Structure 1
Amino acid sequence: MKRRHLLALSAIVSAAFTFSMPTVASAQTVLKLGWTTADSPTDPYAVGAHAFKDAVEKLTKGSVQVQLYPNRQLGDEKQMMEGVRFGTVDSAIITNAVIAQIEPAFQINDLPFLYSNEAQAQKALDGKVGQDLSALLAKKNIMVLGYMEGGFRQMINNKKPVSAPADVSGVKYRVMQNPVFIDMFTSMGGAAVPMAWGETFTAVQQGTIDGLEIPIAVIDSSKMYEVTKFLSLTNHTYSAIELIMSKRSFDKLNAEQRAAVIEAGKQATAAQRIAVNKNEKALLSGLEKKGMKVNTVGDVSAFRASVQPMYEKAKKTVGESMVNQALDSVK
């Protein structure tokens, strides 16, 4: 009787141990990473997300897994950003102008014609400008793991090509819900229409708006070429897109995992920038083949003059020292 009892107890313990084995394997930490655009091999957000996933999983030897959620699966950018802030979303790749809604200092990156090229922007954001911005956002429980890029933003519309500020006049442009972008198009005589990204394609298609401003890669990945005719290479704003992480999610990691995540952010940002730059030329050629009429704006001095008052206004909202610091970084 005792023998049967011992055998039965042994079987129970063995079964319990067997059942517990998957739990040990699944002790792996999962980080959910969201973004609003398509999971396309040339989409800047997607390229950054995959680069981060690969780097994290390699550097943590698989102890941290990154799950990807494109196409607004975790909400629009503002929703995701608030989720990151309060710890309900682990990480996201968010357009700079949206981050500026909760930390106005980030408006500095969206000032039109501040950066003349990618190298200038990268130097500023990898240096003191970026460090100071990150420190401000950290006070809101959001960590910046990298300043990725979407490429320079361009103007697309269905009315006419843009070669001078006067060409913007009277055209209804969707802009992000950010005062810098509203002021930019208003100062050039355009009609700025603040609108969430998820509503934009249909609004252009139905003629509610005439166009928008957007990086080349996102024109392609979002198929905006299907509903817009003219693409003008204004290079008016360098599109910074921040890889952010919830401080609460970060604090749940052990010391080794935290160090790996920070390093993964650096590696992914470097890889993403190279890939975006490489893809852009091919994408531009492809957009022309898909029917968009492309024109280059060679001299932007008239545009710079038209938006100059924005820099004085920014000194009040962003802070004079931050504006001067950014201007010094591009001299």
Structure 2
Amino acid sequence: MKLKSLMLSGAAALTMLASAPAQADAVKLRMGSATADAETDVYKIAYRELSKALEDMAPGQFEVSFFPNRQLGDEKEMVQGLQLGVLDLAAITNSVVANTAPQFVVNDLPFLYANQQIAAKILDGDLGDELLASLDEKGIVGLAFCEAGYRHMLNNIQPVNSPEDVIDAKYRVMQSPIFIGMFESLKGNPVPMAWGDTITAFQQGAIDGLEVPAWVVAGANLDEVAKYMSLTRHVYSAAPLMMSKASFNKLSTEQQDVLRKAAKQACAVQRERGAEQEAEIVENLRAGGKIEINEVADAGPFRDAMQPVYEQYRDKIGSDRLDAWLNAVKD
């Protein structure tokens, strides 16, 4: 979908909205998503919680309409839409945001966040706020950090408890330099591969393992083809909730304050729901008895092995910012 198409889609969406009953004085906001309109979808949860928080804090003052399934473009196009003011709100995968604001790649660093509590503490604190504020020069207002969950390792060799357990193993990775660099630093053999070829390659032994979120394991029935699932939490998928600066500037100071507070609350609840869903999925996989699941007790050795990857991205992230982040995850 070209940007012109995005603008046309947005105009069509506005036409549809015009016929819907709403309070005449309510601020009408459009929120886009590239994923499915499912109740368990992480972005649908973010929308639902944002709408609820806004209504609780400012009854009748805001009306948020949700457009899933790429109705307003894919994630790259939605970032452009925010910049141009043809889209009001979106929660976007961090790696996509990093294409526009390279400093956001800090959230994609492997093994940075050992658990969700550490991630929340940093992203909800001064470091996270500073990172969100850096979007201002891009024509975007960063409101809060939602999430799309953790990625974990599956393989047919052995459980992964330490970096040594990855040595020489062939892992399918996304066609992304940071994922390739991660497995190279662990002395594994990364195999960049399209997802459509991955499961067959795994079944045939062309690769030894792969790395995906828990919901993909359940959705693709990977417990039927993998022997081991290690909860490595090697990449935390942050999903910044953002607003067009043009749309934000149309609001009163009081409305801006409400929106910021509602976004923080919505993302906190969304992350909590996501953690609950992952725990339920993992428990169901364990109960199924088809795959052996283990927790990684200490992410420290993995993080130490990532130093070459971290240094590779120091200039993009900013040297001071990277050092601050690395110190924060140790506290």
TM-score with structure 1 setting the length? 0.77
> Cα distance 1:23–1:301, how it changes in 2: closer, same or farther (>3 A)?
closer
Are the aligned partners of 1:98 and 1:176 in contact in 2 as well (CA < 8 Å)? no
Secondary structure of the residue aligned to 2:52 is: helix
Cα distance in 2, alignment partners of residues 35 and 233 from structure 1: 27
Equivalent position of 1:328 in the other structure:
327
Equivalent position of 1:92 in the other structure:
90
Are the aligned partners of 1:175 and 1:212 in contact in 2 as well (CA < 8 Å)? no
Which amino acid counterpart does residue 97 of structure 1 have in structure 2? S
Are the aligned partners of 1:96 and 1:110 in contact in 2 as well (CA < 8 Å)? yes
Cα distance in 2, alignment partners of residues 26 and 203 from structure 1: 51
Equivalent position of 2:311 in the other structure:
312
Are the aligned partners of 2:90 and 2:241 in contact in 1 as well (CA < 8 Å)? yes
Are the aligned partners of 1:105 and 1:319 in contact in 2 as well (CA < 8 Å)? yes
Secondary structure of the residue aligned to 1:214 is: strand
Correspondences of 1:231-310 after superposition (within 5 Å):
231-289=229-287, 291-310=290-309
Cα distance in 2, alignment partners of residues 218 and 70 from structure 1: 19
> Deviations 1:31-56 (Å, cap 9, x if unpaired)?
22222333444433332221112222
Correspondences of 1:67-82 after superposition (within 5 Å):
67-82=65-80
Secondary structure of the residue aligned to 2:138 is: coil
> Deviations 1:69-88 (Å, cap 9, x if unpaired)?
23333333222222222222
Equivalent position of 1:43 in the other structure:
41
Equivalent position of 2:8 in the other structure:
none
Are the aligned partners of 2:172 and 2:198 in contact in 1 as well (CA < 8 Å)? no
Q: Which has the larger radius of gyration?
A: 1
Equivalent position of 1:116 in the other structure:
114
> Cα distance 1:28–1:287, how it changes in 2: closer, same or farther (>3 A)?
same
Cα distance in 1, alignment partners of residues 225 and 33 from structure 2: 23
Correspondences of 1:124-273 after superposition (within 5 Å):
124-156=122-154, 162-165=160-163, 167=166, 169=168, 171-175=170-174, 177=176, 179-188=177-186, 189-191=188-190, 193=192, 200=195, 202-205=196-199, 207=201, 212-217=210-215, 219-220=217-218, 223=220, 225=222, 229=226, 230-273=228-271
| Count of residues in Structure 1 that have an aligned counterpart in Structure 2 | 304
Which amino acid counterpart does residue 244 of structure 2 have in structure 1? S
Secondary structure of the residue aligned to 1:259 is: helix
Mean Cα displacement is larger for which, 131-140 or 71-80? 71-80
Equivalent position of 2:10 in the other structure:
none
Secondary structure of the residue aligned to 1:238 is: strand
How far the C-alpha of 1:126 sits from its partner, in A, is 1.8
Are the aligned partners of 1:151 and 1:238 in contact in 2 as well (CA < 8 Å)? yes
Which amino acid counterpart does residue 111 of structure 1 have in structure 2? L
How large is the RMSD of aligned CA atoms in angstroms? 3.2
Which amino acid counterpart does residue 79 of structure 2 have in structure 1? M
> Cα distance 1:89–1:155, how it changes in 2: closer, same or farther (>3 A)?
farther
> Deviations 1:230-261 (Å, cap 9, x if unpaired)?
53211112332211111122223344432321
Mean Cα displacement is larger for which, 228-237 or 132-141? 228-237
How far the C-alpha of 1:170 sits from its partner, in A, is 5.3
Which of the numbers 89, 103, 106 marks the counterpart of 1:105? 103
Which amino acid counterpart does residue 248 of structure 2 have in structure 1? F
- 5+ residue gaps, structure 2: 1-19
Which amino acid counterpart does residue 294 of structure 1 have in structure 2? I
Which amino acid counterpart does residue 182 of structure 1 have in structure 2? I
- 5+ residue gaps, structure 1: 1-21
> Cα distance 1:213–1:37, how it changes in 2: closer, same or farther (>3 A)?
farther
> Deviations 1:258-288 (Å, cap 9, x if unpaired)?
2321121011022222222333221211234
Equivalent position of 1:8 in the other structure:
none
